[in-house]
Each structure stands twice: as structure tokens, then as C-alpha cells.
């Protein structure tokens, strides 16, 4: 590299993966590394916060060194470091923030505390510009489910959000009830593809504006499993997925109808679901708008989306301090 300071180093450690990436202003990813904690948390059926922080502390510096080395980049090529400041688990966030602050100080590179949700919002533009504005965006992750309207990459207006569980959380909890382990989303998807959606679970808040609620659906699956001791688990998974998709697609349709948009963007871990991708394609074809999806590897948490969001902050001249904020609204940069 030339030492022209044209890259951002993205650091994401808000939950259970230590993810690092180098991204240029166009969203090209020059190098990326993920130290996954699947094996650590798999044994517990969910994320164990103290184990997560310890694993981040072990992996973060080796992961950063590896990305720089493999990409042939030094700190002289860095315009900034973008690091997730929240929302997330406090201990996990602190590891990323301290690593970023120390490196920034030592290297003389500015450090930007990025809102994790802003990272997801920008993930569909990684590797290639896909998004056309104005757009409706559906974010479906483990921590959040909401619909928003975007006039531009940085102008976002919330349309509706979940009153309780996120859809990813419901996937994970139902996966645990079915004995599928953690993380549950991909396992539920695979099982659902082999079953029939013949159980009528509720479609929560179907008629109520653009807000979501998935807790009742999850409880309804639990009650079904209590009453039916020998269920066909593939049919339970298929019926659960059917109910989730019906809600997500109906609300996306309503949001597109009510808000001038040329695209539907779907981001977050559940955007890796092949069923959701296929149904969103039918919806956007029918409505004559573009469907913008992140490549599969950038749908779940990653460092590249944090780096791309950090480029927006650089452009706005807004450098939030790398200080943990476990809850940050989407409206905040």
C-alpha cells in the first residue's frame, strides 16, 4: 500500500464473534477475519457474556494483526479505526473499544465509536454498490427487528419496531426447544426446508401498523410442544418459519406501499435465510422495486459493515468517542 490513509479498520465485538475488516470508501473489503465463539457458546445453548468477553480478549489483537499482515497494510494506510460502541454486551464491547483506543493512540489514527445498527444498515453496499434510495429497510438480527425508511445512507426514520423479542431471538429460542443447538437460525432453516407448514401458529400483530412482536409466537410453539410429546419436528420448524415470514413479508409490503421507495433492503443475521430471500424477491418483483441484500457473509455480524458505517461518520465530520453505550437508538449516528 502507499501510506495514503485510504482504509478504515473495522472492529466488531458486540456479541459473540470477534470480527475485523479493512474497507475502502467504496465498500471494497481488502481483508477480513472472524474469530467465532460458536464452540464456546454452543455447549450452553446461548451466549454466556463472561465467556464472550474473555474470548474477545484472547482473539482481538491476533485477528487485527492477521488482517493487516495478510492484506499487506500498515497503520499508515488507515484513515480511521471504526469500532462498535453499542448496542451490545458491555464486557464484549469494552474489549473492542479498549483495543481500538490503544491502537489509535499508538498509531496516531482517529478512533470512531460506531452504532452497530448503523453498520447493519450499510451492509448491503459492501463489495458492490447495490442500494438505491429512497428505500425501505427491514433489519432482522438476533438483537433487533425493525422497519425504517432511508432517504440516504445517513438519513433514517424508524417506521416500526418489535415490542418484545426479535425474530432472530425467536429462531434461537425455538431452535433450543427443538434441541437444535446454538446458533439456531441456520439449523431451523435447514430443518424447515424438509417439513410441511401444517400447524397454525399465530401471526402476531398482523393488523397493527408496522410494529412486530414475536414472543407470543415463540410461546405458542412451546405450548404445542408441551401438548404434543412426539412431534414431527420438521413440521414444527416449517410452520414456525412460515408464521415469521408471513409477518415479515406483510409488514414489508405495507411499509413499501406507504413510503415512497425504489428499493427494499433486508439486513441482519436472519437476512441469511434462503426462504426469506426467496419470498422477498417475489415481493419486490411484484411491487417493481429493487431488492438489496448483503452477500451472505456480511448479513451476520462482521467488521466490514462497521468500517463502511465509519466512512459515513468521516464524511459527516462526526467522530463519536469510543465509549461503550449498551443501548443506542437507531436515530443516533
Q: Give dist(CA 270, CA 143) in Å, integer.
A: 11
311 binds, among Zn ion, ligand KG4, none (CB under 5 to 8 A by kind): none
Alpha-carbon radius of gyration of the chain: 20
Residue 217 Cβ vs ligand KG4, minimum distance, rounded to whole Å: 14
Q: Is 18 in the site for Zn ion (CB under 5 A)?
A: no
Query: Considering only residues 37, 53, 141, 239, which one is a binding residue for Zn ion as defined by CB under 5 A?
Result: 141
Neighbours of 44 (CB within 10 A): 10
* Nearest alpha carbon to residue 280 among 250, 239, 301, 235: 250
Sketch the per residue contact string, 83 through 122, with Zn ion: x for CB under 5 A, - otherwise.
----------------------------------------
171 binds, among ligand KG4, Zn ion, none (CB under 5 to 8 A by kind): ligand KG4
Residue 167 Cβ vs Zn ion, minimum distance, rounded to whole Å: 13
End-to-end CA distance of the chain: give it in Å, rounded: 30
Q: Which three cell numbers stand for residue 72?
A: 499487506
* Nearest alpha carbon to residue 324 among 141, 96, 56, 20: 96
272 binds, among Zn ion, ligand KG4, none (CB under 5 to 8 A by kind): ligand KG4
Q: Is 162 in the site for ligand KG4 (CB under 6 A)?
A: no
Give kind and range of the element (H or E) at residue 36. strand 29-36
Q: Give dist(CA 115, CA 128) in Å, integer.
A: 22
Kindly give the pairing relationship between strand 155-161 and strand 145-152.
antiparallel
Q: How many residues bind ligand KG4 (CB under 6 A)?
A: 19
Query: Considering only residues 99, 172, 298, 307, which one is a binding residue for ligand KG4 as defined by CB under 6 A?
Result: 172
Near ligand KG4 in 203-262, by CB under 6 A: none
Q: Strand pairing partners for 10?
A: 21, 82
Chain contacts with Zn ion (rule: CB under 5 A) = 141, 301
Chain contacts with ligand KG4 (rule: CB under 6 A) = 15, 141-143, 168, 171-172, 183-186, 189, 268-270, 272-273, 300-301
Amino acid at each position: 500500500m502507499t501510506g495514503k490513509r485510504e482504509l478504515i479498520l473495522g472492529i466488531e465485538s458486540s456479541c459473540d464473534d470477534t470480527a475485523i475488516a479493512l474497507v475502502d470508501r467504496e465498500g471494497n473489503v481488502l481483508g477480513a477475519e472472524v474469530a467465532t465463539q460458536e464452540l464456546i457458546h454452543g455447549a450452553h445453548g446461548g451466549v454466556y457474556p463472561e465467556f464472550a468477553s474473555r474470548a474477545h480478549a484472547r482473539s482481538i489483537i491476533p485477528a487485527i494483526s492477521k488482517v493487516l499482515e495478510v492484506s499487506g497494510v500498515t497503520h499508515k494506510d488507515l484513515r480511521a479505526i471504526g469500532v462498535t460502541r453499542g448496542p451490545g454486551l458491555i464486557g464484549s464491547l469494552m474489549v473492542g473499544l479498549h483495543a481500538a483506543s490503544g491502537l489509535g493512540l499508538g498509531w496516531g489514527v482517529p478512533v470512531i465509536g460506531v452504532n452497530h445498527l448503523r453498520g447493519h444498515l450499510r451492509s448491503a453496499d459492501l463489495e458492490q454498490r447495490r442500494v438505491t434510495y429512497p428505500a425501505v429497510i427491514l433489519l432482522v438480527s438476533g438483537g433487533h427487528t425493525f422497519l425504517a425508511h432511508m432517504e440516504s445512507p445517513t438519513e433514517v426514520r424508524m417506521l416500526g419496531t418489535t415490542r418484545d423479542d426479535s425474530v432472530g431471538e425467536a429462531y434461537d429460542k425455538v431452535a433450543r426447544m427443538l434441541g437444535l443447538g446454538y446458533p439456531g437460525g441456520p439449523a431451523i432453516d435447514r430443518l424447515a426446508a424438509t417439513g410441511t407448514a401444517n400447524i397454525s401458529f399465530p401471526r402476531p400483530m398482523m393488523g397493527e401498523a408496522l410494529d412486530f412482536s414475536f414472543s407470543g409466537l415463540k410461546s405458542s410453539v412451546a405450548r404445542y410442544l408441551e401438548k404434543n410429546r412426539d412431534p414431527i419436528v420438521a413440521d414444527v420448524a416449517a410452520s414456525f418459519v412460515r408464521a415469521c415470514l408471513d409477518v415479515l413479508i406483510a409488514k414489508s409490503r405495507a411499509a413499501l406501499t406507504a413510503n415512497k421507495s425504489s428499493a427494499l433492503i433486508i439486513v441482519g443475521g436472519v437476512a441469511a435465510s434462503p426462504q426469506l430471500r426467496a419470498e422477498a424477491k417475489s415481493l419486490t418483483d411484484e411491487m417493481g422495486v429493487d431488492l438489496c441484500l448483503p452477500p451472505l457473509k456480511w448479513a451476520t455480524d462482521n467488521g466490514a459493515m462497521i468500517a463502511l458505517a465509519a466512512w459515513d461518520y468521516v464524511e459527516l465530520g462526526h467522530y463519536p468517542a469510543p465509549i461503550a453505550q449498551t443501548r443506542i437508538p437507531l436515530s443516533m449516528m
